[in-house]
Amino acid sequence: MTEETLSVKSLTGVEMTLPIAGPGTRSYGFLTDWLIRLLGALIWLLVASLLRLAPGIAGRPVAHTVWVAGIVLALITYFLYQPVAEILTKGCTPGLRTAEARIVTLEGMTPGIGALVIRNVFRLIDCLPVFYVVGLVTCMLTPRRVRLGDIVAGTVMVRTDAGAGAGLDRLAAQARRTRLPVEALALVHDLLERWSMLEEAQRIRLARAVLTKLDAGFAACDTDLDGPALRARLEGLLEG
């Protein structure tokens, strides 16, 4: 069976493919996140139970208030964990990270807050009638293995690997060291990540175009810089 992939254009114009996560990967990530939010809700209830039985509180009206507060916090944790976690992690919740998957746009980019909120609102439909039957059936029938929430939000879940995760970690570390804008940093990082995939002429052409735009000390007419020298100059930009 041929693996479904999402083809996107990188910032340097090089086309790349991202493997789409199937129902199994999606379910594994969701169940892991579900256990996390269930545990969080149970912890609130346990804390509230212990507090209302504590000396000085037990048998007093405040005990009822503590119990109600525990229930409210448990419900908030259970129902808001998923959208909040997706927004804070930019589409890669603890459960999805465990399943080696993440949520991206159809262009392969990190989804915005609006898209993540929309895909979570539509969980109310995807979970019908029980156990996410609508969402599961939709994932099995659609080419990109998406549920209704993804269709409306314009998102898709793709599989990642250790190399991709390391690349994201390196990008985050570089962002703390350099003064480059985020878009420029991503452009340089993208070019270096795909350096070995490009022909020598492509490397030189793209490297010169990027350096001319971002490096004030680089002269586009300086033709004596070869591929390795251009790469070193690009790496210097990332180091700040």
Mean pLDDT of the region 196-205: 82
Question: Do residues 28 and 107 both lie within one domain?
Answer: yes
For position 5, what pLDDT does the model report?
Answer: 82
From residue 97, alpha-carbon distances to 74, 82, 158 in Å are: 24, 14, 11
What is the share, in percent, of the chain residues with pLDDT greater than 90?
49
> Of 98, 126, 159, which marks where a domain is finished?
159
Does residue 47 form part of some domain? yes
Q: Domain residues for 177? A: 162-238
pLDDT in tens, 114-164: 999 999 999 999 999 988 999 999 999 998 999 999 999 999 999 886 445
Q: How far apart are CA 157 and CA 92, in angstroms?
A: 10
From residue 43, alpha-carbon distances to 9, 82, 146, 153, 158 in Å are: 45, 17, 33, 33, 32
Question: Do residues 83 and 180 both lie within one domain?
Answer: no
Question: Do residues 123 and 185 both lie within one domain?
Answer: no
Q: How is the chain split among helix, strand and coil, in percent rounded to 5?
A: 60, 10, 30
From residue 159, alpha-carbon distances to 96, 102, 190 in Å are: 9, 6, 19
* Torsions phi, psi for 105 (to 5 deg): -80, 175
**To which residue do tokens 């029938």 refer?**
141
Q: Is the pLDDT of residue 13 over 90?
A: no
Q: Is the pLDDT of residue 170 over 70?
A: no
Number of folded domains that form the chain: 2
For position 163, what pLDDT does the model report?
Answer: 47
Does residue 106 form part of some domain? yes
CA quadruple 175, 156, 114, 16: dihedral sign: positive
Question: Do residues 47 and 119 both lie within one domain?
Answer: yes
Across the strands, what pairs with 158? Answer: 20, 102
Token pair in block for residue 149: 């929430």
Angle at 233 between CA 230 and CA 236, to 5 degrees: 155
Q: Is the pLDDT of residue 197 over 80?
A: no
> Of 111, 129, 159, which marks where a domain is finished?
159
Does residue 118 form part of some domain? yes
For position 215, what pLDDT does the model report?
Answer: 77
Question: Do residues 52 and 130 both lie within one domain?
Answer: yes
Does residue 205 form part of some domain? yes
Q: Is the pLDDT of residue 168 over 90?
A: no
For position 213, what pLDDT does the model report?
Answer: 80
Higher pLDDT: 145 or 180? It is: 145
pLDDT in tens, 29-80: 999 999 999 999 999 999 999 999 888 888 888 999 999 999 999 999 999 9
pTM above 0.75, yes or no: no
- In the three-class reduction of DSSP (H, G, I as helix; E, B as strand; rest coil), residue 158 is classed as strand
What is the share, in percent, of the chain residues with pLDDT greater than 70?
83
> Of 159, 183, 211, which marks where a domain is finished?
159
Question: Do residues 125 and 224 both lie within one domain?
Answer: no
pLDDT band at 212 (very low <50, low <70, confident <90, very high): confident
Does residue 1 form part of some domain? no
Q: How far apart are CA 58 and CA 46, in angstroms?
A: 15
Q: How far apart are CA 116 and CA 91, in angstroms?
A: 8
For position 92, what pLDDT does the model report?
Answer: 92
Question: Do residues 141 and 173 both lie within one domain?
Answer: no
Question: Do residues 127 and 232 both lie within one domain?
Answer: no
Question: Do residues 187 and 115 both lie within one domain?
Answer: no
Does residue 225 form part of some domain? yes
Mean pLDDT of the region 167-178: 55
Does residue 181 form part of some domain? yes
Question: Do residues 173 and 208 both lie within one domain?
Answer: yes
pLDDT band at 1 (very low <50, low <70, confident <90, very high): very low
Question: Do residues 47 and 151 both lie within one domain?
Answer: yes
Does residue 4 form part of some domain? no
Question: Do residues 97 and 216 both lie within one domain?
Answer: no
The mean pLDDT of the chain is 84
**To which residue do tokens 């898709």 refer?**
156
